[in-house]
Chains A and B, each alone.
Chain A
Amino acid sequence: DTAVSQTPKYLVTQMGNDKSIKCEQNLGHDTMYWYKQDSKKFLKIMFSYNNKELIINETVPNRFSPKSPDKAHLNLHINSLELGDSAVYFCASSRQGAVDGYTFGSGTRLTVV
Chain B
Amino acid sequence: GENVEQHPSTLSVQEGDSAVIKCTYSDSASNYFPWYKQELGKRPQLIIDIRSNVGEKKDQRIAVTLNKTAKHFSLHITETQPEDSAVYFCAAPENKAGKSTFGDGTTLTVKP
Contacts and interface: CB of A to CB of B under 8 A. Distances in A.
Contacts of A102: 34, 36, 44, 46, 91, 100
A112 interface: no
A103 B32 CA distance: 15
A100 B98 CA distance: 11
B94 A98 contact: yes
B89 interface: yes
A97 B98 contact: yes
B78 interface: no
Nearest to A97: B98
Contact of B99 (A41, A45, A103, A105): A45
B54 to A, nearest CB: 14
User: Chain B's interface: helix, strand, loop or mixed, by majority?
Assistant: strand
B7 to A, nearest CB: 15
Given A48-B99, A56-B98, A99 B43 contact: no
B99 A104 contact: no
B45 A104 contact: yes
B46 A55 contact: no
B34 A42 contact: no
A47 B102 CA distance: 14
Interface residues of B, number: 26
The size class of the interface chain A forms with chain B is 20 to 34
Interface in A36-89: 40-45, 48, 50, 55-56
A28 B32 CA distance: 21
A31 B93 CA distance: 14
Contacts of B31: 99
Contacts of A55: 97-98
A99 B32 contact: yes
B14 to A, nearest CB: 24
A44 to B, nearest CB: 8
A48 B105 contact: no
Interface of B: 31-32, 34, 36, 38, 42-46, 49, 87, 89, 91, 93-95, 97-102, 104-105, 107
Which 6 A-B pairs give the minimum distances between C-beta atoms? Answer: A98-B93, A101-B46, A104-B43, A43-B102, A99-B32, A98-B100
